Amino acid sequence: MVRLVIRRVGLAIPTLIGVSMIVFILMTVVPGSPEAGLVPEDATPAERQAVRNQLGLDDPLPVRYFHWAVDALQGDLGRSQQRRREVTDLLVQAWGNTFVLALVSAVFGIALGLLLGYIAGTRRGKLLDRVISVVSLAGLSIPSFFLAIILLALFAGGLKWFPSGGASFDDPVTAVRSLVLPVLSGSLITMAITARVTRAGIVDVFGADFVETLRAKGLTEFEVRRHVMRNAISPVLTTSGVQIGALLGGSVLVETIFRWPGMGLLLYNAISSRDLVVVQGATLVIALTFVIINLLVDLLQAGIDPRVRGAVA
């Protein structure tokens, strides 16, 4: 287990460096100048140059990256001139909001997906299985932003049951109300993937020889299904890890539509305004989140499944 952790952490460092370098290069080659939003449309060359100097935009690319990386290693992700705030402050605020949304979305999506997948898997070929298959396929097919707009029009604009957006944590009732629509929109794919993977795993494991052995040994059906679930859960954990990572990265579209001030919205605005330091910082945090989630999933898998534990030992 310790070796697994060391190996994963060792892999994480070049991953983070690689991601930050690629993003740095991409942001410099995409059209649009970072100073464009900071000066008037008719700024003189001197006025424009003053801002470029302030942002260090005329330094060679490797020099700029080196300066950023050295500062980042010391915990200084820079200051956004577009937002007039420290990048770290922006990230802490946005990541906190996304974390809440992602956590609730993940719990809701995975729990519902597990339940639906279990029901479908244990009733293979029956009507309920087919209905759940259609629902999960729809979940994969309907774009989250489309669902978000439909939910908004129906439950916010029409029925006025829920607020149309914003992250409000003033009291539990308000918090729950503000979470309902973004969670429904954001967790749909997680629910659908989890349901399909769970169903496939259960169907697969139910066909294994050891299930017949368990039944022959006189175990109750409940105990048999417990063993089946334990064996079927491994791929679910893997996909859940990826889904949680994606949710923690923030959904640009869902967060924009619901005015949820998280990582997705922060990143979208930063890319749109060519706010390089925020894009760099946000990407780093998202990459780091993926690395940590994957590590946790691996550890969890190793804890649950002795075969995995043996493979990494």
- From 13, 63, 75, select the one nearest 281 (Cα to Cα): 75
14 sits near another protein (criterion: CB under 8 A)? no
269 sits near another protein (criterion: CB under 8 A)? yes
Interatomic CA distance for residues 74 and 95, integer angstroms: 20
CA atoms within 13 A on the CB side of 80: 26
Nearer to another protein, 158 or 310 (CB): 158
Cβ neighbours of 215 (radius 10 Å): 13
Q: Which residues have CB under 8 Å from 83's CB, separation 6+? A: 90, 275, 278
Closest contact distance (angstroms) between CB of 31 and another protein is 5
Q: Write the CA distances from 271 to 23, 27, 44, 207, integer angstroms.
A: 11, 8, 25, 49
Note whether 93 and 172 are within 8 A (CB): no
Residues 105, 122, 273, 301: which binds another protein (CB under 8 A)?
273
Residues in contact with another protein, total (CB under 8 A)? 52
Residues 180, 256, 304, 312: which binds another protein (CB under 8 A)?
256
- Which residues inside 86-125 make contact with another protein, applying CB under 8 A? 90, 93-94
Q: Stretches 5-13, 17-25, 59-67, 147-155: which one binds another protein (CB under 8 A)?
A: 147-155
Nearer to another protein, 38 or 229 (CB): 38
- From 236, 249, 238, select the one nearest 186 (Cα to Cα): 249
157 sits near another protein (criterion: CB under 8 A)? yes
Closest contact distance (angstroms) between CB of 238 and another protein is 33
Q: Stretches 85-93, 194-202, 229-237, 291-299: which one binds another protein (CB under 8 A)?
A: 85-93
Two structure tokens written together for 3: 């070796």
- Which residues inside 167-226 make contact with another protein, applying CB under 8 A? 167
Interatomic CA distance for residues 139 and 160, integer angstroms: 24
Which residues contact another protein by CB under 8 A?
31-33, 35-48, 50-51, 54, 79, 81-85, 90, 93-94, 149, 152-153, 156-158, 160, 163-167, 256-259, 261, 265-266, 269, 272-274
